[in-house]
Amino acid sequence: MRSEGAVVSAEQLLEKAWDENTDPFTNVVRVTVMTLRRKLGEPPVIVTVPGSGYRI
């Protein structure tokens, strides 16, 4: 939310939201974003930027 519309990579989200012991190859970011999208509903609030990350 603090990124103010900038693209945030999955790696950046992993660093900020999870501890340093989290496996960098995990899909926890993707699953969490998917869950948030379901809860937030329409219109889409989280946009995937292919090859870059996510934008809110």
Q: What one-letter code names the amino acid at 32?
A: T
d(CA 54, CA 31): 13
User: What is the tens place of the pLDDT at every residue in 3-54?
Assistant: 778 999 988 888 888 877 778 778 888 899 999 999 999 998 999 999 999 9
Q: Which residue has the higher pLDDT, 1 or 5?
A: 5
The whole-model pTM stands at: 0.77
* Residue 14, φ and ψ in degrees, nearest 5: -60, -40
Contact 22, 28 (CB under 8 A): yes
Burial 8-23 (b: 16+ CB within 10 A, else e): bebeebbeeeeeeeee
